[in-house]
Amino acid sequence: MAGGVRHTQDKWGLLLASYSGCPRCRQAWDEVGPPTGDHVISVHDGGDDSISNLQPLCCSCNSRKQQHSERFPVY
């Protein structure tokens, strides 16, 4: 793991609470399924597992984003 930084489930829960849906496709979670954790900057490119480098995306958007570094606004 790059940098050795990890987040707690509590912090992830707080982050999720600020999103009503996927910030990439702008669909509600109940329409696209549960959120997945996405690295804004991929671990491959030097990103870490800190909460500031994570964002929730639906599974489909996370797959489409691949390793591109992109932060989406809160939806």
Amino acid at 74: V
Q: Say whether pLDDT at 2 is over 60.
A: no
- Single out the residue of 46, 26, 67, 48 nearest to residue 56, CA to CA: 26
CA distance 31 to 46: 32
Q: Say whether pLDDT at 4 is over 60.
A: no
- Average the pLDDT over 31-36 and give the result: 95
Position 34 scores a pLDDT of 94
- Average the pLDDT over 5-24 and give the result: 88
pLDDT band at 69 (very low <50, low <70, confident <90, very high): confident
pTM assigned to the model: 0.78
